[in-house]
Every structure is written in C-alpha cells, then in structure tokens.
Amino acid sequence: MLRVTTTIKYGAFLVAASLLAACSSTKEEAPVVAQAPTSSITPGSAEDFRVNVGDTVFFSLDEYSIRPDAQAVLQKQAAWLKQYPSVKLLVEGHCDERGTREYNLALGDRRAYAVKEFLVSLGVDASRLQTKSYGKERPICADSDDSCWQQNRRGYSVISSGAGS
Amino acid sequence: MKRVNALTRAVATALTLAGLAFAAVPAQAALEIKLDEGVVEPIPIAIHDFLASNPRDQQTAANVAGVIRGDLERSGLFFPLDPRSYIEKISNFQSFPRFADWRVIKAQGLVTGQAQQLSDGQLQVDFRLWDIFGEKQMIGMSFKTTPENWRRLGHLVADAIYERLTGEKGYFDTRIVFIQEAGPKTKRRYRLAIMDQDGANPSFLTGGNYIVLSPRFSPTTQAITYMSYERQTPSVFVFDLQTGQREVIGQYSGMTFAPRFTPDGNGVVFSYSRSNNVDVYVADLRSRRPVRLTSDPGIDTSPSFAPDGRRIVFNSDRGGTPQLYVMNADGSNQQRISFGQGRYTTPVWSPRGDLIAFTKQVGSTFSIGVMAPDGQRERILTSSFSEEGPTWSPNGRVILFTRTTAGRGGSGGGSTIWSVDLTGRNLRKVLTPGEASDPAWSPLNR
C-alpha cells in the first residue's frame, strides 16, 4: 500500500519537475529527477535490499499477524538473506498514533517479533535477526489520517551488518 | 543538589498572636472550602504584597506574594483579587488588618506577610491568613531557606493556606518530571526534563540524543525511573537527581519499559518482553532480582501499585482488547475491573488509594477518567482527539495528562501537558518549555 502511495507522489513530483523544465524551455536537459537504473545497484548491498527486495511490511489496525501482502515481501527478504548469509537485520516494529505510548511499545514489539518469526519459519537463522520496538515514536508519516496511520503500522527491516556497498 | 539541601533546611515555625492587640471576634461561619461538595465559585482572597524591612528584600517580598497568587489562582479554588483594588495598604505585619476595608472589596480571606534576609544569609518569610468575616487570624507561620529558593517559600505558604482552608495537604511545593519534545514527528527529539509544578525552574536531565519515555518520581527518594533507548535494547533506568547518575535496573535480554516505583521506593515494577511475551515484573533495586508477576500470553503492561503496596493495577489485552486488571502484589488473583465500552490503558492508582485514573479510547476520541479500584463509579474528566497518561497530585485532587493535537500538512500534531481536577473542572494548560508529554508529579516538598 505504501508503494502505491509513494509511486503516485513520486510521479506527481516528476510531472511538476518536467513542467518547470518546459517553462524554462531547456528541452535538451535531462529530467531533474532521474531514478537510478536498477543495474547500477550492487547486488547484496543495503540499496539492493531496499529497492529490489523491499524493507517494509504493513499491519492492520491493532494487529500483529503477517498479512498476505507482507508474506510476499518477507518471502523475498528470506530468499535474499539466504543468498547473502553474512547479512544481519534489525527488525523495527512501529505503530500508528491511535494508542497509548506504553501499549504501543508492546504492540510494536509484537510486530517486530512477528516479522522475525516469519523469516525464521522460512529458514533464516534467528541469530541474524534482532528486533526493536519504537511504539508510536518514529512514524514515517506525520498526518493524522487513515493513510498515514496505515503507513506507520509497519515492520521495517534495516541491515545492521554484513552487506556489501 | 542545592535543592535537596535546601529542603532539609526549609524550616516551618508557627506564629502566634502574641503581641497583637486583642480584638473582639464576632461569631461567624468559619472560612473553609469543602472539596467534596465540588467547588464551583472560587473564593475571593486578597494577597497583599509582603513587607520588607530592608529595601534590598523588597522585590523578593513582592515576588513571593506573586507566587502565592499564582498557585492559589491555578488551583481553581481561589480568586486572588487585584492588588490595585485594595483599600488598606498594610504597613505593619504585627497589627490587625482593618477588616471592614477588606469586606468592601468582597475579600473573604486576606494573606499578609513579610520577607527578610537573616544574618546567616537565609531568607525568611512570615505570613498570616486572616478570616475577614470572622475577624480573626486562621494561621500564622514562618519559613526559611536559601535565598535562591525564594519561590519555594511562596509555594510553602500557598500549601499552608490550602491545607488550612480545605483540610487537605496542598500540592504547590512539588515538581513535575516530563518529556520535552522538539522537531518534526518523524524525527522527534526527546529530553528528560524537570520543573516546578508552576513551570518555573525547568532543567533538562538528558541531551536528546536518544529516545526517553515515561519518567516517574520515586515516592521516597530524589530519583526518577524512566525508559531509555540509550542502549541497544531499550531499557528501564533510574536517574539519581542528587548525583546526576543514571543506571539501568538490570540485565535483560529484551525490552524493559513502563516502569513505576514500588510504594516504599525500594523497587520498580515494569514490563519485560521476554521470548515474545510482554509480562509484568517487579525488581528490588538493591538485589536487582526480577520477580515475574504475570505470565499470560497477552500484553501485560503499565503496572501501578496501590499506595498501601498490597495490589497492582495493570493493562492487559488478554481478553481481546486492552482493559484494566487488578492483582495482588505477588501476582495472584488477577481480576478484570474495566467493563465499559472502549479500550482502557495507562492505569495509575491515586495516592489516596480510593481511585484509579486511566486513559480510555472510544472510536476516535481519547479521554482521561477515574474509577474505583473495583471498577465501579467510572467518571470521564476530559476528552479530545488524543490524551493519555494521567498522573496524580500528591494529595489526589488534581490530574496532569498529555494532550496531542491532530497532525496536518506533514508536520504532525503537538503535545502539551494539561491539568484537570478530580471533579472534571479547572481544565488548564500547564506551562512547559516547548512541547511536552508524559508528566509525572513528585511527592509533596520535593
């Protein structure tokens, strides 16, 4: 869901950028915002994991079960982790703002563990996966609406060591 | 720290009427405030600028009276009259006021006082509270401390007035520990902070390089327990206000959070996430040995002891949604007490023992409420888009909590600290340095 939202926003930015470019009538210039071609990403790098695998899965309201859309992402993560066995992950659990601080710390903890357990069930060694809950203290989207709350209810896998650069 | 030394030296002395001219006292209903009957109309009271025999002490004397006016006004129980309306200009602390002059401006009480720096460098404040209609002194006292703690003298006088008129301890000579917040919601900086209950003398105990949450005062010592992200694993710490030292409460394999002191101040009750299960534990601060109190597979968190130390109220979602439960101090006899519609979290036992304050969420509204320890007589005090985390004044009459506004336009909502009294009246924003959350009230005289 985040991917869809982000793509739309990104696209809007591209349109705005090219309109600006048209106004200044410098047609020959390359677009200001250019996405790096996938081929330039080093396989096994943190960027490879983020761009080609996906580092975020989402949760439903008050839930910590792994949804089907999250399963697909975690299967890719597990396959990638098997391909690069020196990589270690920190799985962060996050919540939306519609709960109290302490309860959300516990819920974020559950979400991080749920991601870890799913990856372990796919054959990833548990010793490569650490978890950390941020409760509602580190949202990625700051508005108080359903769209932001969904983006904030997430498990975010960040490479802590062992990736190529 | 200076403050602590000053506390032990804040000496109170009763002032008698010896030396005052005798005056006939007409029989009148005594000036008093009955808190349990719900005070709607604040009592008009005059607080005359305190006198100073030495011109050097004049500004301090006036400032002390200002602190008293501020405390009494914010309590919602008093209406301090504008000093410009006073007819009589008091010039002698030792003589009776002209009661008729104070009746004209509708004052029911009058506070007179004086401030002077003693030969040993201490600042002394004397005051008298007069019943205008009863035409008599209700209380006279003297306090002294180091001059830099002059605000405390004002708070001590305000506490004495509050106690004389309500029959209950005041709460003005207290401090509030809280989290100061700054920056955008997505990269918020959190600092452990402390200030006087009226917002004066704020200071920061951590620098903002890591997240800190949920500070709580020790009931017996100059210490705060809180949760910090300063280490790899987020953990419960104790901060010693006298030495400035901070220390983790023990070595745990998973996150520890939601700490509160035991009523004797010797231990901390908290949540520990062990093997993907969040349960309530209690640990003695000397032996550091944790004792597990709950073992349900649900989330068990936000524990808070009853003041007598015999029971603990906590939050659990074992029944499907977060609700309040009470258990014995050893973890036995766990009983659900909240049965209303909605989700109940962050319970905290009143220092009087008679009520539990909580956060309640119904639909898109958050509320702060209170209920009896058996779950009966639920009463909602205040509601808004987001509020949470009640904390009690040491006399159990006032509650502080965090209110957060909705985020719009990408910047996120702001958090502020509010106060409301037990009857749901006198809702006020508390003065803080910047945005603030997670208030916790100190005991009295701390």
Mutate to test the interface with A, among B301, B346, B435 (most CBs of A within 10 A): B301
The tokens of A158 are what?
């960040």
CB A165 within 8 A of CB A114: no
**Cα gap B23→A28, rounded to integer Å:** 100
Averaged pLDDT of chain A: 83
B385 in contact with chain A, both atoms CB, cutoff 8 A: yes
**Cα gap A150→A130, rounded to integer Å:** 23
A98 in contact with chain B, both atoms CB, cutoff 8 A: yes
Q: Which residues contact B318 (CB under 8 A, 6 or more apart)?
A: B296, B297, B298, B299, B300, B325
List the single residue in A113, A117, A137 with the smallest CB-CB distance to B211.
A137
The end-to-end CA distance of chain B, in Å, is 12
Do the chains contact at A107 and B299, CB–CB below 8 Å? yes
pLDDT, residue B17, reads 53
**Cα gap B429→B420, rounded to integer Å:** 9
Do the chains contact at B346 and A102, CB–CB below 8 Å? yes
CB B334 within 8 A of CB B294: yes
Q: Which residue of B has its CA nearest to A140?
A: B186
pLDDT, residue B38, reads 63
Residue B414 amino acid letter: G
Give how far B225 is from chain A: nearest CA, Å.
14
Residue A27 amino acid letter: K
A-chain CB neighbours of B408 within 8 Å are 143-144
Bridge partners of B274, per DSSP, are B277
C-alpha B129 chain-centroid distance:
24
DSSP B195: E
List the single residue in B213, B345, B411 with the smallest CB-CB distance to A142.
B411
Residue B267 DSSP SS3: strand
**Cα gap B147→B125, rounded to integer Å:** 11
Strands B356-362 and B365-371: antiparallel
**Cα gap B380→B336, rounded to integer Å:** 19
pLDDT, residue B39, reads 60
**CA dihedral sign of residues B27, B31, B37, B41:** positive
**Cα gap B362→B388, rounded to integer Å:** 13
Cα–Cα distances in angstroms (integers) from residue B20 to residues B16, B92, B96, in the given order: 9, 11, 7
CB A112 within 8 A of CB A133: yes
pLDDT, residue A15, reads 35
pLDDT, residue B31, reads 79
**Cα gap B142→A12, rounded to integer Å:** 71
pLDDT in tens, chain B (446 residues): 334 333 334 556 666 554 444 444 444 556 787 776 666 789 999 999 999 988 889 999 999 999 999 999 999 999 999 999 999 999 999 999 999 999 999 999 999 999 999 999 999 999 999 999 999 999 999 999 999 999 999 999 999 999 999 999 999 999 999 999 999 999 999 999 999 999 999 999 999 999 999 999 999 999 999 999 999 999 999 999 999 999 999 999 999 999 999 999 999 999 999 988 999 999 999 999 999 999 999 999 999 999 999 999 999 999 999 999 999 999 999 999 999 899 999 999 999 999 999 999 999 999 999 999 999 999 999 999 999 999 999 999 999 999 999 998 887 789 999 999 999 999 999 999 999 999 999 999 87
Residues A32-89 have pLDDT tens digits of 554 555 568 999 999 999 999 999 999 999 999 999 999 999 999 999 999 999 999 9
B-chain CB neighbours of A103 within 8 Å are 299, 301-302, 315, 317, 322, 345-346
Q: Which residues contact B142 (CB under 8 A, 6 or more apart)?
A: B11, B12, B13, B14, B15, B124, B125, B126, B127
List the single residue in B186, B389, B409 with the smallest CB-CB distance to A140.
B186
Residues A74-99: b if buried by 16+ CB within 10 A, e if exposed: beebbebbeebeebbbbbbbbbbbbb
DSSP B197-245: TTS-S-EESS-SSS-EEEEEE-SSSSEEEEEE-SSSS-EEEEEETTT--
Among B61, B59, B175, smallest CA distance to B124 is for B61
A-chain CB neighbours of B185 within 8 Å are 139, 142
**Cα gap B112→B96, rounded to integer Å:** 10
DSSP A95: -
pLDDT, residue B47, reads 98
Q: What ipTM describes this predicted complex?
A: 0.92
Among A141, A131, A138, A107, smallest CA distance to B213 is for A138
- Report which of residues A30 and B170 the model is more confident about: B170
Do the chains contact at A105 and B190, CB–CB below 8 Å? no
User: Is it true that domain B175-441 has CATH number 2.120.10.30?
Assistant: yes
Domain boundaries, chain B: 15-166, 175-441
H or E segment to which residue A107 belongs: helix A101-121
pLDDT, residue B338, reads 98
B-chain CB neighbours of A144 within 8 Å are 385, 406-408, 413
Give me the residue label for tokens 């004052």: B107
∠ CA(B239), CA(B253), CA(B292), 5° rounding? 80
A-chain CB neighbours of B437 within 8 Å are 101
B-chain CB neighbours of A97 within 8 Å are 386, 404, 407, 413
**CA dihedral sign of residues B320, B322, B323, B329:** positive
pLDDT, residue B110, reads 98
B-chain CB neighbours of A113 within 8 Å are 276
CB A97 within 8 A of CB A136: yes
Residues A29-41: b if buried by 16+ CB within 10 A, e if exposed: eeeeeeeeeeeeb
**Cα gap B289→B309, rounded to integer Å:** 18
B182 in contact with chain A, both atoms CB, cutoff 8 A: no
pLDDT, residue B231, reads 96
C-alpha B357 chain-centroid distance:
14
CB B314 within 8 A of CB B271: no
B322 in contact with chain A, both atoms CB, cutoff 8 A: yes
Our separate counts of H helices and E strands in chain A read 5, 4
Residue B391 DSSP SS3: strand
**Cα gap B332→A159, rounded to integer Å:** 43
**Percent of chain A topping pLDDT 90:** 74
- CATH fold of the domain at B15-166: Rossmann fold (3.40.50)
**Cα gap A116→A119, rounded to integer Å:** 5
Rg (CA), chain B: 24
pLDDT, residue B15, reads 66
